[in-house]
Amino acid sequence: MIERRQSLAAIRAALKRSPVTLLVGPRQSGKTTLARLIVPPSSIGYFDLEDPRSLARLSEPMTALSPLRGIVVIDEIQRRPGLFPVIRVLVDRKPLPARFLILGSASPRLLSQSSETLAGRVEAHTLSGFSLADLGAGALARHWRRGGFPRSYLARTESDSLIWRQQFIQTYLERDLPELGVSMPAPTMLRLWTMLAHSHAQVWNAAEPARSLGISMPTVRRYLDFFTGLSLVRQLQPWHENLGKRQVKAPKLYIRDSGIFHALHGLASEKDILSHPKAGASWEGYVLEEILQAVPNEGAFFWATHTGAELDLLLLRKGGRYGVEIKYQDAPRLTASMRIALQDLKLDHLTVIYPGDRAYPLADRVDVIPFVQAIQSSDLIAPPARLHLTNGTCCRTSLPRSSNGTAHGTLDIAPRSPARTARVKPSMNASGISPRQ
């Protein structure tokens, strides 16, 4: 079993702070597994609303819940939204005899119901699949290829993993979205989801999908919000600075799980991924999701102007502004766009993340840092001299080359002790790939 220490620690801390902790996320992201580490399923305080026995126990919810002490888990809460008013009454008792951990598949409706009924009493946490911090640096290539959903990542073969992801997509289209009130036919929604995947790492424009599907732009935006609320798509909002320049105002889209992104593009093998024109965009989205999970911040944005200057990620933290550029290159260099972003946004520091094996400075307040080092560091936004690797872990990276000489491929990253060097693997697997000439 893969331990998810950071997620488990965050949930335990939330349970101490708040009378109700709401754990949401896509189906099959591991919410139930984490909850069962806190309260065993055999406990009288554990309710699974997909189990008829739990439903029978909650036929009189006040009678069933009011005598309980400690932590009470209610899984699949979206099946009984009428429990929210009951929970509100129970957590208003003084002294507080029980705290509630409620689980549900992420949806706008669930978050709205909980925030309205339990206002001031609930702390919400979104759980994605496995992160690289859960798995270790040696898993990077497999994690990028298969994504973070536990059953996809742990599948016995690449074919099994792809089939699971295809079934996951079909289940969402045929069951979950209709339950949320989406009336569009499943084939049409699949076309929209695929169009979103083609817009991955790009500024969103609703006009083209609306025209292709024969629906209005407000309808397209509403369905995009559904995918966003289900934690399947990220809309990274633009940052607006008080400048005399025309700045991009539309959000930038990312399919949050790299394995789902590859499945939507029909990328079934190593060769498919490496030769696809979206390989670089896939890498950008993967790195961005890992950064947002690993680095605490008060806000995350991108920035771009209509003249071409842009910044992949702007993090607000402790009153400072920190820029992140994600480069899929062997040795990133300082660009005009970086200089403009540094000056116009008044950045405290700009970090360039790349799939290499050493950190080096580019300019004052601009440093290049290997991806694995950035994720393992306790402070991504610090200069390289303040960054360190955890437990002696290091990485060796090889990027295959395309015909024009551009770095094009995935990584060879493996843990090593201080006395050992990482060994290049002969094929793309959990440890990485060898360079192609």
Same domain, 82 and 145: no
Same domain, 68 and 157: no
Same domain, 326 and 182: yes
* pLDDT score of 8 more than 80: yes
Q: Which domain holds residue 202?
A: 133-392
Torsion, Cα 305 307 313 316, to 10 degrees, reads: -40
Confidence of residue 295 (pLDDT cuts 50, 70, 90): confident
Same domain, 318 and 285: yes
> Which residues share a beta bridge with 352?
325, 368
Same domain, 296 and 176: yes
> Which residues share a beta bridge with 47?
74
Quote the CA–CA distance of 95 and 75 in Å, as a whole number. Answer: 25
Which of these three, 92, 111, 127, is where a domain ends?
Answer: 127
Same domain, 143 and 122: no
Same domain, 245 and 372: yes
Same domain, 241 and 378: yes
Q: What is the CATH number of the domain that holds 338?
A: 1.10.10.10
Preceding amide of 95 cis, omega within 30:
yes
Whether residue 17 is contained in a domain is answered as yes
Confidence of residue 406 (pLDDT cuts 50, 70, 90): very low
Which of these three, 73, 105, 127, is where a domain ends?
Answer: 127
Confidence of residue 307 (pLDDT cuts 50, 70, 90): very high
Quote the CA–CA distance of 290 and 390 in Å, as a whole number. Answer: 17
Whether residue 372 is contained in a domain is answered as yes
Whether residue 94 is contained in a domain is answered as yes
Which of the 8 DSSP states describes residue 139? G
**Two tokens, residue 72:** 């009470």
Same domain, 160 and 264: yes
Q: What is the CATH number of the domain that holds 110?
A: 3.40.50.300
Quote the CA–CA distance of 133 and 117 in Å, as a whole number. Answer: 35
Question: Do the Cβ atoms of 77 and 52 come closer than 8 Å?
Answer: no
Q: What is the pLDDT of residue 91?
A: 95
* pLDDT score of 71 more than 90: yes
Which of these three, 61, 95, 127, is where a domain ends?
Answer: 127
Which of the 8 DSSP states describes residue 355? S
Whether residue 387 is contained in a domain is answered as yes
Same domain, 296 and 380: yes
Please, what is the average pLDDT of the chain? 85
Whether residue 431 is contained in a domain is answered as no
Whether residue 148 is contained in a domain is answered as yes
Tokens 């591991």 belong to which residue? 30
User: How many domains is the chain partitioned into structurally?
Assistant: 2
The reported pTM is 0.83
Whether residue 142 is contained in a domain is answered as yes
Same domain, 123 and 163: no
Whether residue 412 is contained in a domain is answered as no
Q: What is the pLDDT of residue 179?
A: 79
Quote the CA–CA distance of 162 and 400 in Å, as a whole number. Answer: 23
Q: What is the pLDDT of residue 412?
A: 36
Same domain, 329 and 267: yes
Q: Calculate what percentage of the chain has a pLDDT beyond 90.
A: 67
Burial class of 386 by CB neighbour count within 10 A (0 to 12, 13 to 18, 19+): exposed
